[in-house]
Amino acid sequence: MPRVYVVNTSGHDISDAERYGELVVMTEGTVDKFNITIMLRAFNEHLAYSTSDDFILVSGPTVMNCIACAMFAAKHGCLNLLLWRYERDGEDRYVHERVRFRLRRQVRKGTKTTKTKYKTSGES
């Protein structure tokens, strides 16, 4: 069963995300957004056990999500996001997006350059 890595919980009901997998809360409450080292340590402890089928639930401060997503993508070559979608009809829900990163190396005039190809696939 996949895991859903919750970047930060701060009182929101995230129970609906359980249908995507086991919830793993990486941080809770207020976190100093300027203390990147603490974030790296906390995320590394949790993401060490992640697989390419797991998800990152986007929540909390932007910088925390950037770091968690970068760590996940660097490890797996893909990024599976769970995003909260507000609906006017009251049927709010999570949607997921998957981004795959493929590196292609090309040689140009004796120097190596790296091109990155992005592919997305989303599902509501």
pLDDT averaged per 10 residues, the chain (length 124): 94 90 94 92 95 96 96 95 85 84 61 54 51
* Amino acid 113: pLDDT: 55
Rounded CA gap, 40 and 27, in Å?
A: 11
* Amino acid 55: pLDDT: 97
* Amino acid 107: pLDDT: 54
Amino acid at 98: R
Cα–Cα distances in angstroms (integers) from residue 78 to residues 24, 53, 55, 95, 116, in the given order: 19, 9, 10, 17, 12
Tokens of 18: 């359980």
The residue extents of the domains of the chain are: 3-123
Length of the chain (residues):
124
Three-state secondary-structure class, residue 103: strand
In terms of Cα–Cα distance, which of 123, 95, 76 is closest to 16? 95
* Amino acid 116: pLDDT: 52
* Amino acid 53: pLDDT: 96
